[in-house]
Amino acid sequence: MGARVAVLVSGSGTNLQALLDDERIAPSIVLVLSDRADVKALDRATDRGVEAEVIAFEAHPDRDSFTDTVRDALLRRGVDTVVLAGYMRVLGPSFFDAFPGRVLNVHPALLPAFPGAHAVADALAWGAKVTGVTVHLVDDEVDHGPIVQQEALAIRDDDDWDSLEARIHEIEHRLLPSALLALLEGRLDVDGRLVRVSEAVR
């Protein structure tokens, strides 16, 4: 495929692990970048021989400066595709201008329902009967870009945050590699907000 992928993380990195465990994707991952130094995702990267870097938001005077530093770190390594896998920082427009149509995010709800950082808790608090996972292309609005894949999940009457999140993770770990592979293989046809995903050639 020839792609050079960076995965941006802020936490334990279970979605990163799902990508690293996919032999079709792992060779393309050249950088794992975190905004926090004390996260397991960085260990997952180094355990697989992938370069890991930390760029802390607090070291920058504002979001634009932070955005430019993150963008430049990726461009220096020839990155052309970006995955936001539990990355909890909002990047500015200059980042997405550098990677047009090449940034994917995984979100633990069926967008446009329950955007933001607390989607699992929000779905439970709302009394929703169905939630799920969305993988979407990212634009300069939060949890807004064209949807690549979604999968619904019924919320059980006895679900709490831990039980629901665990089942959401299972879906994320399938959907994110599938969507990224489709992007890397040129199987996404984007027409405004509509994304058509063609089948892989066997």
Q: Active-site positions?
A: 107
Nearest to 8 by CA among 165, 144, 121, 176: 176
Peptide bond between residue 108 and the one before it cis (omega within 30 degrees of 0): no
DSSP annotation of 186 reads T
Report helix angle 161-184 to 119-126, nearest 10: 130
Instruction: Give me the residues paired with residue 133 across strands.
Output: 151
